[in-house]
């Protein structure tokens, strides 16, 4: 089972995941006919860009120091969603994938917050976790509404 080797691995993984979310939400927005959902996806993409920027700042300024031992406790597989978006993906499937990605990001940021002693960085990761959980909730609500409309 693959593990992170150091904090840079963790931050790089998180930034890559945020960029994948940006691309995914922009792609979903481009397929939306419902303007409200299009705007929601574009807003989420914008927020994910902000998340990536915060992570990049933490990495660039070396604000987050975590022992390699603590880093290696984090299993990469715990935060990977193995389903890839496709252009012909059904809307309900895209919403489920978005929920899974947001849940994985929430888990990563929650675990990072628990592992740091730095209160400022802990707050950053806790805030990121809260934002990801809000995204997941929004997708859950949209999924429920969509399923109700379809049935």
For the chain, the domain total comes to 1
- CA atoms of 121 and 31, how far apart (whole Å): 37
For 25, residues 6+ apart whose C-beta sits below 8 A from its C-beta are 41, 42, 44, 45, 48, 98
Domain contains 2? no
Domain contains 1? no
Domain contains 15? yes
- CA atoms of 136 and 143, how far apart (whole Å): 10
Domain contains 47? yes
Query: Is the separation of the CB atoms in 21 and 101 below 8 Å?
Result: yes
Tens place of pLDDT for every residue, the chain, 151 residues? 456 777 888 889 899 999 999 998 998 888 888 888 889 899 999 999 999 999 999 899 887 766 666 665 666 556 667 777 776 778 888 888 899 999 999 998 998 888 888 888 889 999 999 999 999 999 999 899 887 787 6
DSSP reduced 3-state for 3: strand
Domain span including residue 59:
7-150
- Domain of 113, CATH number, reads 1.20.1260.10
Domain contains 112? yes
| pTM across the whole model | 0.82
């Amino acid at each position: 089972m693959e593990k992170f080797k150091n904090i840079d691995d963790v931050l790089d993984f998180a930034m890559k995941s945020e960029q994948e979310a940006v691309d995914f939400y922009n792609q979903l927005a481009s397929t939306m006919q419902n303007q409200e959902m299009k705007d929601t996806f574009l807003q989420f993409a914008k927020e994910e860009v902000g998340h990536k920027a915060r992570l990049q700042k933490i990495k660039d300024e070396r604000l987050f120091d975590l022992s390699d031992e603590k880093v290696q406790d984090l299993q990469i597989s715990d935060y990977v969603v193995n389903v890839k978006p496709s252009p012909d993906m059904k809307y309900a499937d895209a919403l489920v994938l978005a929920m899974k990605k947001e849940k994985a990001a929430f888990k990563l940021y929650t675990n990072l917050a628990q592992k740091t002693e730095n209160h400022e960085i802990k707050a950053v990761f806790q805030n990121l976790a809260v934002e990801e959980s809000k995204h997941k909730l929004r997708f859950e609500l949209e999924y429920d509404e969509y399923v109700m409309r379809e049935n």
